[in-house]
């Protein structure tokens, strides 16, 4: 009896330590960004474009990078979702048990592990071959390609958890594979799909490497898909590499803005997810 | 006797294990046929063969024919979705779809092409009335189906199947997950429905079979031991194994 109690205490202690490490590092990162960046944070940061170049500009704001990141991640998530849903459907139809589907799953798992920089270089090479300059559209394509594996595998996992009973209810009424996937499996998995999209969005908006060569960098707000575009991670990268301490401080302020954007999106998706939970069968 | 379902030399194996052995059976129209037998004897597999639900099972092979209304359901080119519309199925545990009560009932007709809103409303009302659920849900048709009680959910599933305008209802231990009162309601509704539908009811509760069945099929280890009108099977079984099962010895 005492052994069991001790075991319980030890495991609970370990859980506490693990949680403390995660929460602690989060608080440290947030705290550091907040402390270092708060001084440079002002309304200009989010309402104006930079004045005086990437590394040296002490004035203006990063509106172009905020808008750029939202365009880029938004566009990429749209493109990736449109491509990922049919792939997850394919994996979850009847043929989903086939060896080929398992191959697709394994390839996607491998693709999840490839650094985003490699995707960036790949698209960059294509751009060179067809004589294209850096632009929003290429950034969107790069980010989409790099988040598709993450998105598909996450969607696939939630779709696989839809119970056989539920699928049979649909097939039993004479539904086809497509109807079952669309009306039943996707609906039942919807909260999970929203979570997957959010996860992928977070990866997309926070990634600097993938868009380094493909989206370019600019001080102005893009007006078409073929303009180069600035992103928040790249803005932070340039600001932090600046020799001037004032500009470095601005990097932390940009970090705060990126955190706030992600936070707002998470809260929003929680809200949407809860609404969608309403019809889910438990 | 007018036979609605005829099985001829029907055998079925899953991964080389024979589940059903040479089934020959003719089941009467507009009656409740109870399929009885111990667990794992192939009752559900037999039922699921009739609407080709077994097609979803991996490693399946079968031989022989099943005729529904004189048509072989295994004929190449036959539309499986149409077979499943005509032969509705109600599962063991209620399985409402992740949508509203209204959408659950209209799911079948909708996928089979019904668009007219007025007709849809009419079908929903009629189907829910048919299973005695209309008055309970009339004012909350757009509420999620998962908010209903288990008994109500099972009646919703029955309504959903009826909305598809089937000819045959397959019930796979449909009342086993329900409390006695809800189970009784379903039984009553099935008895009501048999004028319009041919009903097959898998059960391992003998008392239930005695209450509702007009015709009884006894399966043991994948073989049909005996089948015939309910009184005959229950009062004067021909095969000793049937008698043993009914007496609770087998």
On whether both A92 and A53 belong to a single domain, the answer is yes
A98: nearest CA in chain B? B58
- The predicted pLDDT at position B202 comes to 94
Using CB atoms and an 8 Å cut-off, which of residues 212-241 of chain B contact chain A?
A: none
On whether both A105 and A10 belong to a single domain, the answer is no
Q: Is residue A170 one of the residues assigned to a domain? A: yes
Percent of chain A predicted with pLDDT > 70: 97
Q: Write the DSSP symbol of residue A162.
A: S
Contact at 8 Å (CB) between A74 and A197? no
On whether both A224 and A202 belong to a single domain, the answer is yes
Query: CA-CA distance, A37 to A57, in Å (whole number)?
Result: 16
Mean pLDDT of chain A: 90
Q: What total number of domains does chain B contain? A: 1
pLDDT at A244 over 90: no
Q: What total number of domains does chain A contain? A: 2
Q: What's the average model confidence in pLDDT over A135-154?
A: 94
On whether both A9 and A54 belong to a single domain, the answer is no
Using CB atoms and an 8 Å cut-off, which of residues 4-23 of chain B contact chain A?
A: none
- The predicted pLDDT at position A245 comes to 87
Complex confidence, ipTM: 0.91
On whether both A80 and A135 belong to a single domain, the answer is yes
On whether both A20 and A59 belong to a single domain, the answer is no
A94: nearest CA in chain B? B56
On whether both A24 and A95 belong to a single domain, the answer is no
Q: What's the average model confidence in pLDDT over A27-31?
A: 94
On whether both A53 and A22 belong to a single domain, the answer is no
Q: A170 vs B107: CB contact, 8 Å cut-off? A: yes
- The predicted pLDDT at position A209 comes to 83
Domain at B191, CATH number? 3.40.50.300
Low-confidence residues in chain B, pLDDT < 50 = none
The 10 Å CB-count burial string (b at 16+, else e) for B128-143 is: bebbbbbeebeeebee
- The predicted pLDDT at position A97 comes to 66
Q: Write the DSSP symbol of residue A184.
A: I
- The predicted pLDDT at position A61 comes to 83
**pLDDT tens profile A62-100:** 898 999 999 999 999 999 999 999 999 999 886 556 788
Angle between helices B150-163 and B180-193 (to 10 degrees): 20
B174: Cβ contacts below 8 Å, ≥ 6 apart: B90, B91, B92, B154, B158, B186, B201
Question: Nearest by CB to A171, which of B84, B96, B160?
Answer: B84
On whether both A88 and A113 belong to a single domain, the answer is yes
Range of the domain at B240: 3-246
**pLDDT tens profile B164-204:** 999 999 999 998 888 888 888 889 989 989 899 999 999 98
Predicted confidence band of residue A58 (pLDDT cuts 50, 70, 90): confident
pLDDT at A25 over 60: yes
pLDDT at A19 over 80: yes
pLDDT at A54 over 70: no
Cα of B84 to nearest chain A Cα, Å: 5
Question: Nearest by CB to A172, which of B84, B100, B144?
Answer: B84
Q: B84 vs A179: CB contact, 8 Å cut-off? A: no
Range of the domain at A207: 43-277
Q: B111 vs A280: CB contact, 8 Å cut-off? A: no
Domain at A211, CATH number? 1.10.3720.10
φ, ψ for residue B160 (rounded to 5)?
-65, -40
Q: What's the average model confidence in pLDDT over A117-129?
A: 93
**pLDDT tens profile B77-101:** 899 999 999 999 999 999 999 999 9
Question: Nearest by CB to B85, which of A165, A169, A174?
Answer: A174
- The predicted pLDDT at position A272 comes to 86
Q: How far is CA B62 from CA A26, A120, A282, B55, in A?
A: 60, 53, 35, 10
On whether both A34 and A75 belong to a single domain, the answer is no
A126: Cβ contacts below 8 Å, ≥ 6 apart: A132
Cα A164-A169-A173 angle, rounded to 5 deg: 140
3-state SS of chain B? CCEEEEEEEEEEEECCEEEEEEEEEEEECCCEEEEECCCCCCHHHHHHHHCCHHHHCCCEEEEEEEEECCEECCCCCCCHHHHHHHEEEECCCCCCCCCEHHHHHHHHHHHCCCCCHHHHHHHHHHHHHHCCCHHHHHHHCCCEHHHCCHHHHHHHHHHHHHHCCCCEEEEECCCCCCCHHHHHHHHHHHHHHCCCCEEEEECCCHHHHHHHCCEEEEEECCEEEEEEEHHHHHHCCCCHHHHHHHCCCC
pLDDT at A23 over 90: yes
Q: Is residue A282 one of the residues assigned to a domain? A: no
- The predicted pLDDT at position B1 comes to 60
Contact at 8 Å (CB) between A207 and A116? yes
For an interface test with A, which of B49, B60, B98, B164 has the most A Cβ atoms less than 10 Å from its Cβ?
Answer: B98
B72 lies within 8 A of chain A by CB: no
Predicted confidence band of residue A148 (pLDDT cuts 50, 70, 90): very high
On whether both A10 and A140 belong to a single domain, the answer is no
B98 lies within 8 A of chain A by CB: yes
Return the structure tokens found at A247: 């500009």
On whether both A72 and A113 belong to a single domain, the answer is yes
């Amino acid at each position: 009896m005492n052994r069991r109690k001790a075991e319980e205490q030890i495991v609970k202690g370990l859980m506490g330590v693990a949680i403390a490490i995660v929460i602690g590092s989060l608080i440290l990162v947030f705290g550091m960004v907040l402390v270092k960046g708060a001084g440079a944070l002002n309304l200009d940061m989010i309402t104006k474009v930079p004045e005086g170049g990437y590394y040296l500009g002490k004035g203006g704001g990063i509106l172009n990078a905020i808008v750029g990141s939202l365009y880029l991640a938004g566009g990429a998530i749209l493109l990736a979702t449109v491509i990922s849903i049919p792939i997850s459907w394919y994996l979850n139809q009847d043929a989903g048990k086939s060896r080929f589907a398992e191959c697709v799953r394994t390839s996607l798992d491998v693709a999840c592990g490839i650094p985003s920089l490699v995707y960036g270089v790949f698209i960059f090479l294509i751009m060179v071959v067809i004589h294209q300059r850096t632009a929003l559209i290429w950034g969107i394509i790069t980010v989409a390609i790099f988040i598709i594996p993450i998105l598909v595998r996450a969607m696939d996992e939630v779709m696989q958890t839809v119970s056989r009973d539920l699928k049979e209810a649909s097939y039993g009424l004479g539904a086809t594979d497509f109807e079952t996937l669309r009306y039943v499996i996707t609906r039942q998995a919807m909260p999970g799909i929203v979570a997957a999209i959010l996860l992928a969005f977070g990866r997309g908006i926070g990634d600097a490497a993938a868009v380094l060569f493909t989206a370019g960098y600019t001080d102005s707000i893009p007006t078409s898909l073929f303009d180069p575009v600035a992103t928040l991670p790249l803005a932070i990268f340039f600001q932090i590499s600046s020799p001037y301490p004032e500009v470095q401080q601005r990097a932390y302020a940009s970090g705060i803005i990126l955190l706030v954007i992600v936070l707002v999106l998470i809260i929003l998706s929680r809200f949407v997810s809860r609404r969608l939970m309403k019809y889910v069968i438990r | 006797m007018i036979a609605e379902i005829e099985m001829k030399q029907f055998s079925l194996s899953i991964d080389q294990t024979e589940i059903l052995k040479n089934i020959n059976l003719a089941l009467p129209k507009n009656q409740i046929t109870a399929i009885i037998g111990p667990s794992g004897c192939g009752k559900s597999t037999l039922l699921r063969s009739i609407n080709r639900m077994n097609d979803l099972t991996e490693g399946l092979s079968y031989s022989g024919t099943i005729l529904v209304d004189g048509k072989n359901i295994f004929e190449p080119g036959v539309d499986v979705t149409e077979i499943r519309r005509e032969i509705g199925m109600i599962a063991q545990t209620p399985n409402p779809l992740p949508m509203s009560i209204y959408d659950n009932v209209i799911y079948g007709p909708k996928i089979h092409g019904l668009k007219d809103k007025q007709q849809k409303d009419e079908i929903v009302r009629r189907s829910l009335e048919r299973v005695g659920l209309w008055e309970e849900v009339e004012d909350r048709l757009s509420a999620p189906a998962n908010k209903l009680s288990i008994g109500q959910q099972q009646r919703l599933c029955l309504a959903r199947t009826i909305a598809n305008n089937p000819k045959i209802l397959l019930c796979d231990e449909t009342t086993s997950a329900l409390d006695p009162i809800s189970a009784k309601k379903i039984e009553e509704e099935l008895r009501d429905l048999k004028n319009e539908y041919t009903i097959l009811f898998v059960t391992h509760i003998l008392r239930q079979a005695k209450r509702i069945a007009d015709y009884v099929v006894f399966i043991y280890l994948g073989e049909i031991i005996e089948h015939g009108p309910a009184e005959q099977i229950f009062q004067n079984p021909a095969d000793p194994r049937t008698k043993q099962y009914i007496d609770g010895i087998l």
